[in-house]
Structure 1
Amino acid sequence: MNTTAVASGGEARGRRVLLVDDSVDAALALSMLLEALGHEVRTEHDGPRALASIDEFNPDVIVLDIGMPGMSGLEVAREVRKRDASRHALLLALTGWGGDADRQQTLDAGFDHHLTKPVSIADLEALLAAPRA
């Protein structure tokens, strides 16, 4: 079993993370970091491919960019919350949009947390390490 150290000094198991960002470079960099921290990561670069991956990969956590062409991260989040298999996944918005209206839109779409780029790795890892109900 993969374990990853958390800032509190405790241990948390590695998570299955689906990372969705239309920026290939940004997705690659973040996926490499998350893998180095002990997580199993799958990356996708658009909404339809992300939705297709969910049933097969069964992620514990889905990190979604909001501003993707075609199907936005908000649309993907709404669809994720309709699916039994992924309804309880931790859903994180990771976006350059950080205004109050943007944050409210992500909550309304079903996201658990709204993170603004550039994200603090400590903040991201704390969310990944927290136990899910």
Structure 2
Amino acid sequence: MGRRCFLYTAVFADARKYTDMSQTIENQSTERRQGGDTTAPPRKLNLLVVDDNQEVGESLAMLLETFGHNVVVVRNWQMAVEQVKQCVPDAVYLDIEMPGISGIEIGRRLRNNPDTANAVLVAVTGHSLPMYMDDALTVGFRHFLVKPVRMEDLATTVQSVLAG
């Protein structure tokens, strides 16, 4: 258990680095606006994390929140459907291996739903097997992250969503 906490501590220490970088970018953006530049600040994203393991889902959400975005965690397909009715996510981080319906199948269903067809799909898995990557690519996932997820990889996914 102590080793697990240490790993999370290291990840969250790394998260502070990205949060500081994000604040610096925001400060520079504010300075440009005050100097006559009309560039708007980055928008706040609505992110959905679907993971059957509550601790893993909440840990991923905490890391994503360090970038200043709204994050909701759900544990299965049914909860995801209910959440999407309340707020359409800009991106969905899907655990690939879940009981019942896999993350790949959830991604397929989200892609076929007109309300969520434009959400960026991000596969999150403990396995980097080529079959998972091929399936994810076929469904339309834009990113494939292997657990434990690196902070710079999360930053890349968030920047990708912001860029459109």
Fold conserved (TM > 0.5)?
yes
Preserved CA contact (<8 Å) 2:51 2:95: yes
TM-score (norm 2): 0.71
> 1:83 maps to what in 2?
113
Please identify which structure carries the higher helix content.
Answer: 2
Is 1:114 the equivalent of 2:144? yes
Residue 130 (structure 2) aligned to one of 81, 96, 100: 100
Correspondence for 1:62? 92
Higher strand fraction (1 or 2): 1
CA shift, 1:6, in A, is 6.1
Q: Please report the RMSD computed on the Cα atoms of aligned residues, expressed in angstroms.
A: 1.8
- Contact 2:50–2:74 at 8 Å: present in 1 too? yes
Provide the aligned length of Structure 1 versus Structure 2. 128
Which structure's relative contact order is higher, taking Cα pairs within 8 Å and 6+ residues apart?
Answer: 1
**Match for residue 155 of structure 2 among 112, 116, 125:** 125
Q: Which structure has the greater CA radius of gyration? A: 2
Name the structure 2 match of 1:24: 54
Give the structure-1-normalised TM-score.
0.87
Which ranges of 4 or more aligned residues in structure 1 deviate by more than 2 Å? 4-7, 9-14
Percent identity between the two aligned chains: 34
Q: Which runs of 5+ in 1 are unaligned?
A: none
Question: Which AA in structure 1 matches 2:158?
Answer: L
